[in-house]
Amino acid sequence: MIPVLLITIPLLAGLATFFIRDEKAARSWALLASLLTLGCAVAGITFLKGAANLEAHAQWLPALGAQFSVKLDGMGQLLCLLTAVSYPVIFLGTWKATYANAKNFFALMLLAQAGLMGVFLSMDALLFYFFWELALIPMYFLCSTWGGDKRIRVSFKFFIYTFLGSVLMLIGILYVYGMTKDQSFSINSFYNAGLSNAQQNKLFWLFFIAFAIKMPIFPFHTWQPDTYEQAPTATTMVLSGVMVKMGVFAVIRWLLPVLPLASYAWGDVVTTLAITGMIYASLIAIRQDDLKRLVAYSSIAHIGLMCAAIFSETESGMQGVMIQMFNHGINIIGLWLVVEMIERQFGTRKISELGGLAQKAPAMAILLVIVALANIALPLTNAFPGEFLMFNGIFSSTVTQYYLWFTVLGGLSIIFGAVYTLNMIRKVFYGESNALTAGAQDIRWNEQLALGVIVILILWLGVCPQTLLNTVQETAHSILNKADVLPYIRKH
């Protein structure tokens, strides 16, 4: 029941929003719908945890072996919760932003949420593909309609990139489907398809390119900074907070267990790409003067680490990735909120033009510093346990011989991360205030509320991460069991 609600509430609410003429009403309606979704998601992980509540299956295309099959497993719970939490926070944080044709904006945002939920819940490959695209189309319209000056070209690049990835994945899905024993798209048939080594190696890249574009992993990342920069901030928050997790999530659920041999064989290559991307993005972030682009590049670095940790194929790494997906989503939405406030007040995002904000806006400064510290994974913030587990996983990995190199180089990018984040805080919030920032106002109630929620989550999950870890333990274990190549090696 819960999974169906998680998809249908935003879907129906989104469709209804198209017909609300009043901007304020549309805004309130969207917030209400997102809170309702949040309520469902929270119920799903607390008091309605019975298996019957967390699954739903129905016939869809029996001739093809495709089912409408959705299920909320541990990892799904966490990501659905992230999606559900982020929407009210985003709506609240950008409460004062005005949009031309606001009803369409909120409608598309909610439709995108339905797509995202569907991706995290689908237990059928064809359904998964449907939702994968359903999340993309509203995003394209959101970026192209309400974005910056170069929005049309940039969003189109984003769309073409991801669509190209999707069609490659479709080929992969169809190929695996043909190999399943019962001609079915269900995830269990995919896990038991019994593909040969050669087939897996061929298929790996069809799937991985689609996911790598979404994450994004170097060298498929070029759409990302432009899109983040041009998209309206509320959309950027969804893109970077939730949507990039689609790629990471898909690797864990659809790539590693379906193609274990190829994941093992290509693991080093992928990890090298991920680590290269981390260092490359961090170096670029250090040189960035634009706040949005800085956050965008820092996001590439964080996602790269998650990808590397997945391919370390250790329990610690896997659990780290799963809770980090949640934490990174929370943190980056916090960062975007601050960037949005700064841009709205001063009309610029250039770090060099800002300075001395802390004197005028102490509340904003304090909240930002907490979010920024979480971004560099300081202990006691939520990102620390995740990153620690991931590094632990990479270092103790038994599937690669380069674990030391990966750990050291990955750790280097964490140091770079501290450099650009602290540098940004220093330049924007401290030092002398200039003519532009002299009249700075502190943050308003809605932003306080949104950032407050985020800061509470950061501190709470930083002190007791066990709540999150308990949720994902089982999923991580079962994914790794399916991805284990040892039985295969023993057999041959």
The site for other proteins (CB under 8 A) is made up of 61-63, 129-130, 133-134, 137, 141, 144-145, 151-152, 156, 159-160, 163-164, 167-168, 170-171, 174-175, 178
DSSP characters over 414-455: HHHHHHHHHHHHHHHHSS---TTTTT-----HHHHHHHHHHH
* Least spacing, CB of residue 350 vs other proteins, in Å: 26
Strand partners, 350: 290
Q: Distance between terminal CA atoms of the chain?
A: 44
CA–CA distance, 383 with 373 (Å, rounded to integer)? 9
* Least spacing, CB of residue 168 vs other proteins, in Å: 7
Q: Which is nearer to other proteins, 156 or 388 (by Cβ)?
A: 156
CB 388 within 8 A of CB 328: no
Q: Which is nearer to other proteins, 177 or 218 (by Cβ)?
A: 177
Helical (H) or strand (E) element with 461 = helix 445-463
Q: Which is nearer to other proteins, 183 or 398 (by Cβ)?
A: 183
* Least spacing, CB of residue 137 vs other proteins, in Å: 6
DSSP characters over 122-150: B-BHHHHHHHHHHHHHHHHHHHHHHS-TT
* Least spacing, CB of residue 167 vs other proteins, in Å: 4
* Least spacing, CB of residue 63 vs other proteins, in Å: 6
Q: Which is nearer to other proteins, 175 or 402 (by Cβ)?
A: 175
* Least spacing, CB of residue 178 vs other proteins, in Å: 5
Q: Which is nearer to other proteins, 31 or 174 (by Cβ)?
A: 174
CB 317 within 8 A of CB 389: yes
CA–CA distance, 324 with 394 (Å, rounded to integer)? 15
Q: Which is nearer to other proteins, 132 or 406 (by Cβ)?
A: 132
CA–CA distance, 212 with 224 (Å, rounded to integer)? 12
CB 424 within 8 A of CB 372: yes
* Least spacing, CB of residue 195 vs other proteins, in Å: 14
Q: Which is nearer to other proteins, 178 or 347 (by Cβ)?
A: 178
